[in-house]
Amino acid sequence: MSKSLPSWRELPIGAVILQPGSTVRYKTHEWRTLRPVINQDKCIRCRLCWAYCPEGTILELDKPYTTKAGKVYNITYEVNYDYCKGCGVCAYECPVKAIEMVPEVR
């Protein structure tokens, strides 16, 4: 096994994990074949994509945005592409079809 992993002497006993939420160290973006792209001008900030994302990767940011039509929003939804697995639930559930699933090019 890998030499860089700690010895049994160094590990907290009983396989207890001391860092809550530490799966953030593991990026799941490689699972993705399709990438959700949010059209900020079409988006009506309904929050459904944020709510239904299984990963919590739709970020709800207090970032103002003015649409091309001149509508001002205080909130912007952005995708955290580090973890998005590309399931497409957000795009499917978007009531105004403001999210497009585009093929991932690597």
Query: Contact positions toward another protein, by CB under 8 A?
Result: 1-2, 5-8, 11-28, 31, 46-48, 51-57, 60, 80, 82-83, 85-89, 91-93, 101
- CA 87 to CA 79: how far, in whole Å? 13
CB of 37 to another protein, least distance (A): 15
Residue 87, phi-psi category: left (phi > 0), alpha (psi -120 to 50), beta (remainder): alpha
Closest CA to 31 of 57, 50, 52: 57
Nearest to another protein of 68, 93 (CB atom): 93
Nearer to another protein, 2 or 70 (CB): 2
Q: Which is nearer to another protein, 25 or 68 (CB)?
A: 25
